[in-house]
């Protein structure tokens, strides 16, 4: 099968500004709008699974993601995810040894805010999903990282290799 | 060598609106701004080579691009290019049998206009440059095409396989 | 009556980029979206009258605008108009001595392009419509001009007083 | 004197998203960029006075604003201000009986976020500053309100008359 599954889990990627409270929150995913903007003509199967800040994720959330990765017929998966615990979810996924190419990506700035890396990361991760061999990867800052060789450098807001 | 060379040649990717004449024209490339927005941390060597609508390109322009592909030390190259004759440049490049991964990309809507596919295509093409084997490719609409199996469908503004 | 009538006639204000042809054209007005963005709570009566580049306007078009200004119950009117012959329409309107406050405004950059003055001009002109006495005015560049003391300086793309 | 003084005090108008913390904060004002976008050609005297959420304002802050309103030679003043306590500052200003036209404005969505009412409100308030008689006013939602006949309806995020 050639299609790519996109599993939406929220994260900064999809946050919005609540003008009544002055805080950030989730409404609907912007993924469809972003794919339309990018004029993507890929064969995609899109699953909005949850809308959560990854700092709020617990094991149950992550296993729900894992379950969805296993159950889909698609051999290539992109997961939009909060950047804070993206590496954690990637590690749990890798343990399952799923015979698929799984790419986790996210954004440092909400898509809705303009000046967002979301659209760029979406293009990167969909490309990596098509070309990388079976395994679990993080796609951020234009690069791809193996799940076991990456960390989020929170002081500069970037992803980097461990070694 | 690990860095990616980006060769800028113009196209709709970089067009701007001239408020005095009401037409479109080229000023400076937006590529740097787009890489900053995408928070790219790739090792890049960026060469603004020309700023031209690809319908205005002649053989001399295309051979200048070919020459720059040959001369760079980089093994991976992304060329931003007008979409109208992108396939033509790709074919000329392929004839040269350059031992590099060369990706041509562009945009249907100028980056400056909002609602542009430019940032998405930039993310895609940089990812494909890192993972595709030696060869010449087009990257548009989220996909990659071999240079000899693609055409621009001008009535719907999309790239598609020949067979 | 307290409401303001907005008469839409097109101009750069509402132009869009046609990705298939590379040119500019009219589709639907963006005025409703702009009023939503600006969170306008004014009592407005909006009339999409025509969608035309003001260089294409002839006397018939201008008299249609005049007729609509006369016929509406509203005492305050904003007309979105191409900037190239905005002063011409203003002069014809003034001859009619309509007992209303009529403000003509437009944009140098299409609203759809980002970096547009459209939203700013819309805010200005609606404010001037509420506060200026009966007469015909141009509202551009943050200012208001009496219909008989203004011209478009086409070399710098700005409106200025005659004396 | 014909120039308009703009006093910048912060508020949602100028907030930015901090990608490292996920919260909102102040960096530099966006006012200059907004005036450039709007292609304003008004004679303006711009004073960045403070960058503060108006919920954090105390009497000292407000009296600093009042002092600056008194001291300027300009007869027309626009103050960018957080919407939460804008009415409070307006009331204190009105008590001072300053012989000037003073307009307070702000935004419900940070300018930087796209989908902001900031640019529209800036156009409105600068227009009202030119045409309203001496007094203190709030300019939001396309309207103007006398300082003593307005409140912020926090449940719907709009400004409305008291009676």
Q: What is the pLDDT of residues C22-70, one digit of tens each?
A: 889 999 999 999 999 999 999 999 999 999 999 999 999 999 999 999 9
At residue A115, the pLDDT reads: 79
Chain B residue with Cα closest to A44: B142
**Three-class DSSP category at A97:** coil
At residue A112, the pLDDT reads: 87
Chain B CB contacts of A76 below 8 Å: none
Q: What is the pLDDT of residues A79-118, one digit of tens each?
A: 999 999 999 999 999 999 999 999 999 999 999 887 799 9
The DSSP 8-state label assigned to residue B94 in this structure reads H
At residue D64, the pLDDT reads: 98
At residue A45, the pLDDT reads: 97
Cβ contacts of D147-156, under 8 Å, gap ≥ 24 = D147/D87, D147/D90, D147/D91, D147/D93, D147/D94, D148/D91, D148/D94, D150/D87, D150/D90, D151/D87, D152/D83, D152/D84, D152/D86, D152/D87, D154/A20, D154/D84, D155/A20, D156/A20
Helical H segments across C47-101, by residue range = 59-71, 86-95
Picking from B113, B118, B141, B155 by the largest number of C CB atoms within 10 A of its own CB, the best residue to mutate is: B113
Q: What is the pLDDT of residues D93-132, one digit of tens each?
A: 999 999 999 999 999 999 988 779 999 999 999 999 999 9
Answer yes or no: are the C-beta atoms of A152 and A83 closer than 8 Å.
yes
**A124 shares contact with chain B (CB less than 8 Å):** yes
Average pLDDT over residues C140-150: 98
Chain D CB contacts of A24 below 8 Å: 22
Cross-chain residue pair B110–C17, CB shorter than 8 Å: yes
Average pLDDT over residues C96-118: 94
Q: What is the least distance, in Å, from the CA of C5 to any CA of chain B?
A: 28
Q: How is C84-97 classified by DSSP, letter by letter?
A: TTHHHHHHHHHHTT
**B24 shares contact with chain C (CB less than 8 Å):** yes
Cross-chain residue pair B157–C20, CB shorter than 8 Å: yes
At residue A1, the pLDDT reads: 60
Cβ contacts of residue B63 below 8 Å, gap of 6+? B92
Say how far apart CA A102 and CA A125 lie, in whole Å: 9
Picking from D19, D37, D115 by the largest number of A CB atoms within 10 A of its own CB, the best residue to mutate is: D19
Cβ contacts of residue B151 below 8 Å, gap of 6+? B87, B159, B160, B162
At residue D145, the pLDDT reads: 98
Cross-chain residue pair C113–B109, CB shorter than 8 Å: no
In this predicted structure, the answer to whether residue B108 has a pLDDT above a threshold of 80 is yes
Q: What is the least distance, in Å, from the CA of C49 to any CA of chain B?
A: 22
Q: Which residue has the higher pLDDT, D124 or D1?
A: D124
Q: What is the least distance, in Å, from the CA of D143 to any CA of chain C?
A: 7
In this predicted structure, the answer to whether residue C1 has a pLDDT above a threshold of 70 is no
Q: What is the pLDDT of residues B127-158, one digit of tens each?
A: 999 999 999 999 999 999 999 999 999 999 99
Average pLDDT over residues C105-115: 91
Average pLDDT over residues D137-156: 98
- Spatial strand order of the sheet with D76-80 comes to D44-52, D4-10, D76-80, D101-105, D135-140, D143-146
In this prediction, residue C114 has a pLDDT band, given cuts at 50, 70 and 90, of: confident
The one-digit pLDDT tens for each residue of chain A (163 residues) are 679 999 999 999 999 999 999 889 999 999 999 999 999 999 999 999 999 999 999 999 999 999 999 999 999 999 999 999 999 999 999 999 999 999 999 999 999 887 799 999 999 999 999 999 999 999 999 999 999 999 999 999 999 999 8
Least confident of A69-73, C133-137, D16-20: D16-20
Q: What is the least distance, in Å, from the CA of C111 to any CA of chain B?
A: 9
Cross-chain residue pair B12–C22, CB shorter than 8 Å: yes
**C109 shares contact with chain B (CB less than 8 Å):** yes
At residue B2, the pLDDT reads: 76
**D108 shares contact with chain C (CB less than 8 Å):** yes
In this predicted structure, the answer to whether residue C2 has a pLDDT above a threshold of 90 is no
Q: What is the pLDDT of residues B18-68, one digit of tens each?
A: 999 989 999 999 999 999 999 999 999 999 999 999 999 999 999 999 999
Half-sphere exposure at residue D139, Cβ-oriented, CA atoms within 13 angstroms: 36
Say how far apart CA B103 and CA C50 lie, in whole Å: 44
In this predicted structure, the answer to whether residue C146 has a pLDDT above a threshold of 80 is yes
At residue C112, the pLDDT reads: 87
Answer yes or no: are the C-beta atoms of C54 and C86 closer than 8 Å.
yes
Q: What mean pLDDT value characterizes chain A?
A: 96
**C122 shares contact with chain D (CB less than 8 Å):** yes
Q: What is the pTM of this model?
A: 0.95
Q: What Cα–Cα distance (Å) separates residue C17 from each residue in B55, B140, C24, C37, C84? A: 18, 19, 5, 21, 19
Cross-chain residue pair D38–C126, CB shorter than 8 Å: no
Residue B34 belongs to what H/E stretch? helix B31-37
ipTM associated with this complex:
0.97
In this prediction, residue B1 has a pLDDT band, given cuts at 50, 70 and 90, of: low
At residue D112, the pLDDT reads: 87
Chain A CB contacts of D154 below 8 Å: 20
Chain D CB contacts of A17 below 8 Å: 109-110, 113
**C121 shares contact with chain D (CB less than 8 Å):** yes
At residue D50, the pLDDT reads: 98
Average pLDDT over residues B70-91: 98
Answer yes or no: are the C-beta atoms of C12 and C85 closer than 8 Å.
no
Smallest Cβ–Cβ distance between C39 and the set D39, D125, D141 belongs to D141
Beta strands in B27-150 (DSSP E): 44-52, 76-80, 101-105, 135-140, 143-146
Residues forming beta bridges with residue B16, ordered by sequence position: B25
Beta strands in chain D (DSSP E): 4-10, 15-17, 24-26, 44-52, 76-80, 101-105, 135-140, 143-146, 151-153, 158-160
Chain A CB contacts of D109 below 8 Å: 17, 19
Least confident of A147-161, C97-111, D104-118, D143-157: D104-118
At residue A40, the pLDDT reads: 98
At residue A163, the pLDDT reads: 87
Cross-chain residue pair A127–B122, CB shorter than 8 Å: no
Answer yes or no: are the C-beta atoms of A144 and B130 closer than 8 Å.
yes
At residue C113, the pLDDT reads: 86
Say how far apart CA C44 and CA C30 lie, in whole Å: 15
Q: What mean pLDDT value characterizes chain B?
A: 96
């Amino acid at each position: 099968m050639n299609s790519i599954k996109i599993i939406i889990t929220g994260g900064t990627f999809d946050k919005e500004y609540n003008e009544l409270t002055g805080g950030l929150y989730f409404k609907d995913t912007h993924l469809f709008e972003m794919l339309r903007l990018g004029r993507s003509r890929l064969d995609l199967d899109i699953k909005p699974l949850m809308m959560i800040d990854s700092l709020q994720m617990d094991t149950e959330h992550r296993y729900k993601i894992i379950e969805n990765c296993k159950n889909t017929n698609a051999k290539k998966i992109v997961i939009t995810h909060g950047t804070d615990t993206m590496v954690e979810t990637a590690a749990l996924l890798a343990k399952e040894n799923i015979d698929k190419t799984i790419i986790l990506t996210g954004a440092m700035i909400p898509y809705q805010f303009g000046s967002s890396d979301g659209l760029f990361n979406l293009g990167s991760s969909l490309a990596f999903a098509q070309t990388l061999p079976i395994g679990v990867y993080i796609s951020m800052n234009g690069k791809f990282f193996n799940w076991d060789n990456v960390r989020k450098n929170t002081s500069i807001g970037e992803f980097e290799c461990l070694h």
